[in-house]
Amino acid sequence: MVRRESFALAALCACATALAGCMTTTKTIVDTKGLTVQLISKRGDNTELNHPVTIAPVRLSHILARIDIRLSVKDGQQRVPAFYIGSLESISEGLAQGLREAGPNQRVIVYSIRREKRFGIFDTNFLTSFIAYVHGENLFLHLSRSDWEIPPRKKDSLPEPKIGKFPSKFRILPGKAMKMVDEQSLAIAWNDTVFQRPTRTRVTPSGQIMRKTILMESEEPEGDPDTESADVKPKPPETMAIPAGVSANTLRDLADLEERRQRGEISEYDYGRERNRILDADPATGSD
Q: Is the pTM of this model over 0.85?
A: no
Edge-to-edge strand ranges of the sheet holding 79-81: 79-81, 68-71, 170-173
DSSP β-bridge partners for residue 35: 32, 112
* Percent of the chain whose pLDDT exceeds 70: 73
Q: What does the angle CA 155 – CA 106 – CA 32 come to, to the nearest 5 degrees?
A: 35
**8/48 Cα distance (integer angstroms):** 36
pLDDT at 121 over 80: no
**pLDDT tens, residue by residue, 164-207:** 999 999 999 988 899 999 999 999 999 999 898 777 655 555 54
**Rg of the chain taking only CA atoms, in angstroms:** 24
Calculate what percentage of the chain has a pLDDT beyond 90.
43
Would you kindly state where each structural domain of the chain is located, as residue ranges? 25-221, 234-288
User: Using CA atoms, how far apart are residues 287 and 93, in angstroms rounded to an integer?
Assistant: 44
Q: Where are the alpha helices (DSSP H) in the chain?
A: 2-22, 57-65, 88-101, 248-262, 268-280
CA atoms within 13 A on the CB side of 226: 8
110 by DSSP, 3-state: which?
A: strand
According to the model, what pLDDT value does residue 204 have?
52
CB neighbour burial string for 54-75, b if at least 16 within 10 angstroms, e if fewer: ebebbbbbbbbbbbbbbbeeee
Residue 3 has pLDDT above 80, yes or no: no
Do the beta carbons of residue 198 and residue 61 sit within 8 Å? yes
Q: Which residues contact 187 (CB under 8 A, 6 or more apart)?
A: 138, 139, 140, 178, 179, 180, 181
Res 276: pLDDT: 84
- Say if residue 104's pLDDT is above 50: yes
